[in-house]
Structure 1
Amino acid sequence: MKKYLISIISIILLFSLAACSSSSSSSSEAEEFPTKPVKLVIPYPPGGGTDVLFRLVAQYAEKHLGQTIVPTNMAGATSTVGSRFVKDAEPDGYTILGTHQVVATAQHTGVVDYGFSAFDPVVLMTSTPHIPSISKKFSEEHNIKNMNDFIEYVKAGNKVNWAYTVASEDHYSIAAILDAAGVDPKSLNYIHYDGTGPQYAAILANQADGMIADYASGKGYYDDGTLVPLGMVFDERNPFLPDVPTLKEQGIDFSVTVDRGILAPKGTDPERIKVINEAFKKALEDPELQKKIEELGSFPHYMTSEEYSNHVNELDSEMGKLAPKMEF
């Protein structure tokens, strides 16, 4: 009988030790994350503001993460090729999405049937003012120097070929600007290009007259005069384009920034989200990186995952209101 009891006790102890070992192993794995490179999906072609900024910040964040962050461009279908890839990825923290308001606009305009709620917000990274701009040729031909000149030109019923990405944040911005100025957002002749880079190419080739740009990706075009900025969609002027008035200075009561941040697949371990968030937080505290971001016409704008979650919910609500007026 004693031998039997000893055997039973031994078995129980073995199971207990195995359970403890398993628990310890799981805890160890969580603590060690990440143990391999993290893929950062950028749902746009190379060269646009989103691509430039995420690649820059990732270089600094990976120093604090302890693993390489691999920027991976997955362009197509209004950035939804990349967003869908991440949405459907294993929620293990090793595949993340670098994006902005396009997640909301793509849903509200019917491009996809999912939005911010399909992801776990990780960290807000930067905010960038938009700059509605036209080609030098178009500006000179029609004597358009600012947003008010442009609004009057459109109100007169003149044709404008506008480069945009369907249901992207630049689509939302031009629609919101026109709406705030009392102009039907559908007044322009919209031409779809998949991403900011192809839009710049269209301007250079005179296939389009204007686009929503930003200083991060458009600096060279502003410097050489290829692109003429009509106004700054922000509360303050950009110190690198000090002569460009804000829209509010021109009597158009609208201001918004492109808020770039990281999303993870729904169900990602909160502890792993915290690890990634902390790496980006430390990166954004670096004065050298802050200066580089500002030189690109953007601003470091760190938020915790909880703050970022509340922020995207607010963005989602605002964009939903304008969607019915947007051209598709």
Structure 2
Amino acid sequence: MMRSKTSLALLLAATSLAGAGTALAESAYPDEPVEFIVPWSPGGGSDTLMRVVANHAEAHLEQPLPVINMPGVSGTTGLKELSRRDADGYTIGQVHEGLLVAHHTGLTPLNYDDFEPVAAVTQSPQYLTVPADAPYETFGEFVDYAQDNPGEVRFGVTLGGVPHIHAAMMEEAEDLQFRYVGFEGTGPRVRALVGGHIDAAIGDVSSAGEFVKNGDLRFLAVGSAERQSETPEVPTFAELGHPELKLNIIRGILAPAGTPEERIATLASALEAMTQDEGFADAIHNAGASVAFKGPQAFGEYLETSDATIERLSGKLAR
């Protein structure tokens, strides 16, 4: 009888130790680098901002977040790769509204709900951007020129992406017709604009601001609710009579479907702590964006609401 009780005690002790070991192993997450897929080319707005995120998040996650650029097919190539990765919390990916547009225009079967939302981290007002030597210096002059020359304005966009839908919104607002030229990401699009290969594009301060300061490009209007402190001379579309032209990009982070909730929570907690750092906010501001943290639930709700809006507008991109 005594031997039986002793055996039972040893079994219970072993089970308890095993459970403690499992808990300890789980609490150690992450114990190796977390790969960060950015599905856009180097030099664009997403790449610039997500490298700031990766650099500052490391101190809070206590592991490096090496950035891996995987551009292609309007930002869907990298997210397709993300969907194939193990759901273990060791691979995350950057997303913005472009995935929703790509889904509703048939570029990818993937959508936001094929992943686990982790957090939104930044927002970037978008600008109508043109070469500094273009024959139009204001939004009104640009509209007049485009109306007088239908189909001749070469407008650089990410085909089936957010810039495409933003440009289509302008077409609808002013009864214009652009000739679209596709680029993978903001960086190549802005460089083509500087080189005179296209006539207009959607840009932001992080990717085009230095070219504006150098006198190569000009911002004609911004899609934020108010003028931006970095560009106080640039009017909003609302000021120019188009309050419906709200052009903004929210950049956030997803994980593969099935990633454990506790690991999502760990990632989100580290990112939230990061966004409260003054140094991070300054770095994001200097890159032409602002901090806009949303946790897993709030970010998921934002994506759901945006998806419904983009589904309604995506038909404009069919031609």
Quick check: 1:177–1:252 contact (8 Å CA) kept in 2? no
Quick check: 1:42–1:97 contact (8 Å CA) kept in 2? yes
| Structure 1 equivalent of residue 81 of structure 2 | 85
Which of 118, 121, 126 in structure 2 is aligned with 1:122? 118
Q: Distance in 2 between matches of 1:20 and 1:227?
A: 66
Q: Distance in 2 between matches of 1:311 and 1:90?
A: 25
Q: Distance in 1 between matches of 2:13 and 2:274?
A: 41
Cα distance, 1:284 vs structure 2: 1.0
The one-letter code matched in structure 2 to 1:321 is R
Which of 230, 255, 259 in structure 2 is aligned with 1:264? 255
Cα distance, 1:29 vs structure 2: 2.0
Q: How does 1:151-170 map to 2 (within 5 A)?
A: 151-158=143-150, 159-170=152-163
Which of 160, 176, 181 in structure 2 is aligned with 1:191? 181
Q: Distance in 2 between matches of 1:57 and 1:264?
A: 16
Cα distance, 1:84 vs structure 2: 0.6
Quick check: 1:44–1:51 contact (8 Å CA) kept in 2? yes
The one-letter code matched in structure 2 to 1:325 is K
SS at match of 2:222: coil
Which of 196, 217, 221 in structure 2 is aligned with 1:227? 217
Change in CA separation of 1:214 and 1:194 when aligned onto 2, cut-off 3 Å: same
Quick check: 1:124–1:302 contact (8 Å CA) kept in 2? yes
SS at match of 1:262: strand
Q: Distance in 1 between matches of 2:97 and 2:11?
A: 50
Change in CA separation of 1:167 and 1:17 when aligned onto 2, cut-off 3 Å: farther
Unpaired stretches in structure 2, ≥5 consecutive residues: none
Greater CA drift, 230-239 or 199-208: 199-208
User: So what's the TM-score if we normalise by structure 2?
Assistant: 0.94
2:193 matched to 1:203?
A: yes
2:311 matched to 1:320?
A: yes
| Structure 1 equivalent of residue 70 of structure 2 | 74
Deviation sequence 1:105-130 (CA, Å, 0-9, x none): 11011000110000111011011000
Deviation sequence 1:175-230 (CA, Å, 0-9, x none): 12332x1425xx21111111111112211222111110000111111101211111
| Structure 1 equivalent of residue 90 of structure 2 | 94
Q: Distance in 2 between matches of 1:304 and 1:94?
A: 19
| Structure 2 equivalent of residue 54 of structure 1 | 50
Quick check: 1:238–1:297 contact (8 Å CA) kept in 2? no
Cα distance, 1:263 vs structure 2: 0.5
Quick check: 1:91–1:266 contact (8 Å CA) kept in 2? yes
Q: Distance in 2 between matches of 1:11 and 1:182?
A: 83
| Structure 1 equivalent of residue 301 of structure 2 | 310
Unpaired stretches in structure 1, ≥5 consecutive residues: none
Change in CA separation of 1:149 and 1:91 when aligned onto 2, cut-off 3 Å: same
| Structure 1 equivalent of residue 103 of structure 2 | 107
Q: Distance in 1 between matches of 2:256 and 2:19?
A: 24
Deviation sequence 1:226-263 (CA, Å, 0-9, x none): 11111011001111111100000000122131000110
Q: Distance in 2 between matches of 1:208 and 1:327?
A: 21
Which of 141, 145, 149 in structure 2 is aligned with 1:149? 141
Quick check: 2:105–2:318 contact (8 Å CA) kept in 1? no
Quick check: 2:222–2:247 contact (8 Å CA) kept in 1? no
The one-letter code matched in structure 2 to 1:171 is H
2:169 matched to 1:176?
A: yes
| Percent identity (aligned) | 27
Q: Distance in 2 between matches of 1:284 and 1:151?
A: 39
Give me the CA root mean square deviation: 1.8
Quick check: 2:171–2:178 contact (8 Å CA) kept in 1? no
Change in CA separation of 1:325 and 1:24 when aligned onto 2, cut-off 3 Å: same
Cα distance, 1:16 vs structure 2: 4.6
Q: Distance in 1 between matches of 2:247 and 2:181?
A: 23
